[in-house]
Every structure is written in C-alpha cells, then in structure tokens.
C-alpha cells in the first residue's frame, strides 16, 4: 500500500476554504490530544487516521512550538511538523496533490472520502489509469518532512481535507 521505511501519517479534517486555518486547527487538535513525539514514543502503533476513539494522552508540552523544540531534529512524527500550506512540495509544508495525479487515481479532481480510503488506505480499488503505480507515483513522491493534501467532496461540495505526510526521521 505504501513504501517501506517510515510510516506515513494521515488525517481527515472538516473542510474549510482557508486551508491554512484547516491545517492549524488540525495541528491544534492533534497537539491537544497528545498524538505526537515526544509525548508518546509509539506513534508507529497508532492507527491513522485518528478518530474520536483513538488514544489521546493529552498534550505533554505547553505549546506546539515547545513540542517541536523537544522533538528536535527527529520531528514529531505527526502533522505538528507541517507548519504551512504551500503551492509546491516544500519541507515542513503541505502542498496539493497534482490534478494529473488525482485524475490518474480516481478519474476526477473531486474524489470522495470513500474513494480515497478504498484506493490509498485500504488498497481495495485500482487506480482509474491502469498504468499509474500508486506506490511509486503517489507514496514515493512525498518526501520526508513533507505533506500533501486533497480536498474531498460529497455531492459535488467540498466536505473534508485529507492530509498525508512522512515523518522527518
């Protein structure tokens, strides 16, 4: 389903037209829940995307910035490492998945949450373009310390945002 090595993290969050505000709200939610390193050492055991039922030990630092400082060069292994939304892939930023990639995956630039989950997370569907290699052309295109986002749709209306990234270390 995705490459060997570091495990990706991914989240579904309610849609907001202001993508930076959506990212900041998600970072705050995960910080308050304590789902980051060094608050917990076993993030690789967490099931992503987190839900209301996911473990939430609570924040172990006074702020996101303090958690980032405590994690140092290894990063938090979570969305906390992603500090901004960018138009192109950038370290510590979330950038959009290219339209050509979405068309190859789903045959649309407006995938639903169920389409995304079935194809990217569960591997239960094949991409719309049979020549598209999900492993090489999607997962391996995300660098360490980077994230991507996809706006998801329900009845032709934006409904959620999917953020996916790889830890710094």
Contact 160, 12 (CB under 8 A): yes
Q: First vs last Cα of the chain: how many Å apart?
A: 20
How many CB atoms sit inside 10 A of residue 83's CB? 19
Cβ contact 84:94 at 8 Å? yes
- What percentage of the chain exceeds 70 in pLDDT? 96
The DSSP secondary-structure symbol of 152 reads: E
Predicted confidence (pLDDT) at residue 47 exceeds the cutoff of 90: no
133 pLDDT higher than 80: yes
Give the mean model confidence (pLDDT) for residues 124-143. Answer: 93
pLDDT at residue 125 greater than cutoff 80: yes
Average pLDDT, the chain: 93
- Answer whether residue 96 shows pLDDT above 70: yes
77, two tokens:
């292994």
- Reported as a pLDDT band with limits 50, 70 and 90, residue 85 is very high
Cα–Cα distances (Å) from 52 to 12, 56, 63, in that order, read 12, 9, 22
Q: How far apart are CA 13 and CA 82, in angstroms?
A: 15
Contact 133, 62 (CB under 8 A): no
Q: How far is CA 47 from the centre of its chain?
A: 13
Task: Return d(Cα 169, Cα 165) in angstroms, integer.
Answer: 12
pLDDT of residue 3: 42
């Amino acid at each position: 389903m995705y490459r060997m090595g570091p495990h990706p993290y991914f989240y579904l969050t309610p849609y907001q037209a202001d993508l930076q505000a959506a990212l900041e709200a998600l970072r705050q939610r995960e910080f308050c829940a304590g789902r980051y390193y060094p608050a917990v050492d076993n993030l690789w055991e967490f099931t992503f995307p987190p839900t209301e039922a996911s473990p939430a030990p609570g924040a172990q630092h006074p702020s996101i910035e303090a958690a980032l400082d405590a994690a140092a060069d290894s990063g938090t292994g979570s969305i906390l490492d992603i500090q901004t939304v960018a138009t192109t892939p950038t370290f510590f930023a979330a950038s959009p998945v290219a339209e050509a990639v979405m068309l190859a995956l789903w045959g649309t630039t407006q995938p639903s949450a169920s389409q995304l989950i079935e194809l990217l997370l569960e591997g239960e569907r094949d991409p719309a373009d049979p020549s598209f290699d999900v492993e090489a052309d999607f997962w391996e295109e995300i660098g360490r310390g980077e994230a991507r986002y996809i706006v998801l749709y329900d009845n032709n209306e934006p409904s959620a945002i999917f953020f996916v990234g790889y830890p710094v270390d």
